[in-house]
Homo-oligomer: A and B are copies of this chain.
Amino acid sequence: MSRVMNFSAGPAALPLAALERAREELLDFGGTGMSVMEQSHRGKDYERVHDEAILLLRKLLDVPADHDVLFLQGGASQQFAMIPLNFLDAGARADYVLTGAWGEKALGEGQVVARMFGAEAHVAASTGTGDGKEKSYTRAPRPAEVTADARARYLHVTSNETIHGVQFGADPARPVPTAPAGIPLVCDMSSDFLWQRFDVRQYGLVYAGAQKNIGPSGVVVVLARKDLVASGRKDIPKIFQYRTHADANSLYNTPPTFGIYLVRNVLAWVDAAGGLDGMRARNLAKAAAVYGAIDAAKSFYDCPVERESRSVMNIVFRLPPGLEDRFVSEAKKAGMVGLKGHRSVGGIRASLYNAVEVAHAEALASFMKEFARANG
């Protein structure tokens, strides 16, 4: 068996240790004589895994007691709808900061729900340019550019945009925006959750699809302040109320047990690999290698993203005309896959999530230098 270097944007590389652990006990979990996915979600063997995953998240992120940790389904895309469903009322407004395609989608669902309830969803800041259907985004706004309304029910931010490679919080000059006093900050961290520490106390609600940094697809982690959860609407379907899942420790209905088990395996690996300080050092080293290769061949590689907004997770760049397909196919021959840019923007994208090895990023950087030399 030969494992490739996987730079996919998600679903993405998982730590080998987490997968090997799963393989080892796939037919017999912990001596129970069955797979973890054959266990009742109400049984003590599964619940131990479930609770360990929650405790690991609490430990790694220092989640305060007044925040719930939830495992939900439906991806971040479902959170785009659940958030306004829970928190918008007639006459209320929600504010959105746009730095890429995912923020646009969150706003889109926010607008639909706002229309359902006689509320409003506004753009508090956008760095999008261009008049077409597909806007271009090359930076995160500076703090002064974000003007959230003091009456907003929440301020929504996307901390990392996978398609455009724009990130808040990687450079001190582009911190995640703060919300006005009393306004909950809601953040889609799907693609940069757990890459480094952050202060959970500053957020009303954080959500993250697992399939980038912490597990397989089909699981969403939500960290939500308890008073915010309690303030949500009660006249929407139970399954969409955060309180339903908070009250039931995410066991209201059958959770995606195998996905949560794998998240547990990945979190245990993060913990053993130095926690979030370890992840940060690892991720900065990887990003430095690949951005270094771009900057070392500036006339050949072009990263459209402004330096302060460059994503540590998803590095997007373009090559001279006609060379991108060759880049992808030669990289594949060298054992590097998942490098094609998103179909909506083209170009090359190297995703360097937690599980991608430093050696893989260095191998990519070496390949890029050699490719530029040979084709430049």
Q: Which residues of A contact B (CB under 8 A)?
A: 1-4, 6, 8-14, 16, 19-20, 22-23, 26-28, 32-35, 37-43, 73-78, 80-81, 85, 108-109, 112-113, 115-116, 209, 211, 216-219, 235-240, 252-259, 262, 335, 337-338, 343
What residues on B are CB-neighbors of A218 within 8 Å? 73, 218-219, 255-259
What residues on B are CB-neighbors of A262 within 8 Å? 37
A16-B27, A108-B238, A236-B112 known; A40 vs B8 contact (CB < 8 Å): yes
Contact of B39 with A27 in the complex, beta carbons under 8 Å: no
Interface of A is mostly: loop
Contact of B26 with A38 in the complex, beta carbons under 8 Å: no
What are 15 residue pairs bridging A and B, where the CB atoms are less than 8 Å apart in the complex? A1-B33, A8-B43, A13-B38, A14-B37, A23-B26, A37-B217, A74-B74, A74-B239, A77-B253, A78-B239, A81-B239, A211-B254, A218-B218, A218-B257, A256-B256
Contact of B38 with A12 in the complex, beta carbons under 8 Å: yes
- Closest-by-CB residue of B relative to A234 is B112
Q: In the complex, what distance in Å separates the CA atom of A37 from the CA atom of B214?
A: 12
What residues on B are CB-neighbors of A209 within 8 Å? 254
Contact of A237 among B9, B113, B252 (CB under 8 A): B113
What residues on B are CB-neighbors of A12 within 8 Å? 38
Additional A-B contacts beyond A11-B38, A26-B26, A37-B216 (20; CB < 8 A): A1-B33, A2-B28, A3-B33, A3-B34, A10-B254, A11-B37, A11-B40, A12-B38, A13-B34, A33-B335, A42-B343, A73-B73, A74-B78, A77-B252, A78-B239, A81-B237, A81-B240, A112-B236, A115-B235, A258-B258
